[in-house]
Structure 1
Amino acid sequence: MPDDADDAAQVMFAADSASRSLGIELLGAADGRASARMRVTESMVNGHDIAHGGYLFLLADTAFACACNSHGPMTVASGAEISFVAAARLGEDLTAVAEERTSYGRNGIYDVTVYRESAAGRDVVAEFRGRSRTIAREGDTR
């Protein structure tokens, strides 16, 4: 585990072969916030010719994981839900921005907005809420 809490999310993401294999790029993570980007590829499009919701969830979950791990201690999801607002299409670049809303004890709540840029500005594609739990390490009595 790195000494610098801001590096913890970077180290975790570097070992995240699931997210990286999909081309997800971590744009930044610090102080309970993170942003990540992904391009919708042909293998991510479902039978309705739109991005499969599982990939949108994965992008949001990746930003969430980096945000809650930006504090330093190992943190995992204890639950999450997503609302799909608009369809994403082949070739679109999607950005997920995660922000900590509150933390209490070893728990946290984070909101993530997934959007695409358009001529009119940011078009929201999905809204995600994740609940986190810091994991006690060996010898930790918390």
Structure 2
Amino acid sequence: MTPEQRARTCADLMWSADRASQALGMAITAIGPGTATLTMAVRDDMLNGHGICHGGMIFTLADSAFAFACNTHNQRTVAQSNQITYLAPGRAGDTLTAQATEVSRIGRSGTYDVVVQDSDGQDIALFRGLSRTIQGQHFDEDAS
């Protein structure tokens, strides 16, 4: 199995159980070893009291991209810590894109950066996540 096939299989297995991302209308548009790109259309029900998409919805998209990227190596991985900087809001009708990239992976720890952009390609959030590998795999590669 190639690293790309492994990443896709892990993403498919995670996606099948990820009801939250599905309910928010997210889609995985690209997946590879240590990388993931997810999109999410900003709906009216995602706007806050100021009429913009800011905070939690953007964080959730970035965190989901991070989760898919750090789980592409067929090792069960969870967030250890993360931080986000908001640069601009999303707006109703935007399709937000979160691109997660593995910066480093040493032993059981990984570092991932996620850039969230609006429909115009403007950066609206920068996210850094640290991951920790726990016991288990997403699937038995010897059985596939």
* TM-score, normalised relative to structure 1: 0.88
Which of residues 78, 103, 106 in structure 2 aligns to 1:104? Answer: 106
> Which residue of structure 1 aligns with residue 88 of structure 2?
86
> Which residue of structure 1 aligns with residue 21 of structure 2?
19
State the Cα distance separating 1:87 from its structure 2 match.
1.2
Identity %: 44
Paired letter, 1:93: T
> Which residue of structure 1 aligns with residue 124 of structure 2?
125
Q: Which consecutive segments of 4 or more residues in structure 1 shift more than 2 A? A: 3-6
Deviations 1:83-131 (A, max 9, x none): 001111111100000000001110000000000232xxx2001000001
Aligned partners of 1:54, 1:96: CA distance in 2, in Å? Answer: 14
Which of residues 46, 50, 60 in structure 2 aligns to 1:48? Answer: 50
Aligned partners of 1:27, 1:6: CA distance in 2, in Å? Answer: 11
Paired letter, 1:130: G
> Which residue of structure 2 aligns with residue 67 of structure 1?
69
Aligned partners of 2:122, 2:7: CA distance in 1, in Å? Answer: 32
Paired letter, 2:124: V
State the Cα distance separating 1:14 from its structure 2 match.
2.0
- Equivalent position SS for 2:49: coil
- Equivalent position SS for 1:58: helix
* TM-score, normalised relative to structure 2: 0.87
Aligned partners of 1:71, 1:81: CA distance in 2, in Å? Answer: 23
State the Cα distance separating 1:6 from its structure 2 match.
3.5
Aligned partners of 1:68, 1:4: CA distance in 2, in Å? Answer: 12
Q: 1 or 2, which has the higher strand percentage? A: 1
- Equivalent position SS for 2:118: strand
Deviations 1:57-88 (A, max 9, x none): 00001110110011111111111110001111
Aligned partners of 2:91, 2:6: CA distance in 1, in Å? Answer: 38
Aligned partners of 1:33, 1:116: CA distance in 2, in Å? Answer: 19
Gaps of 5+ in 2: 138-144
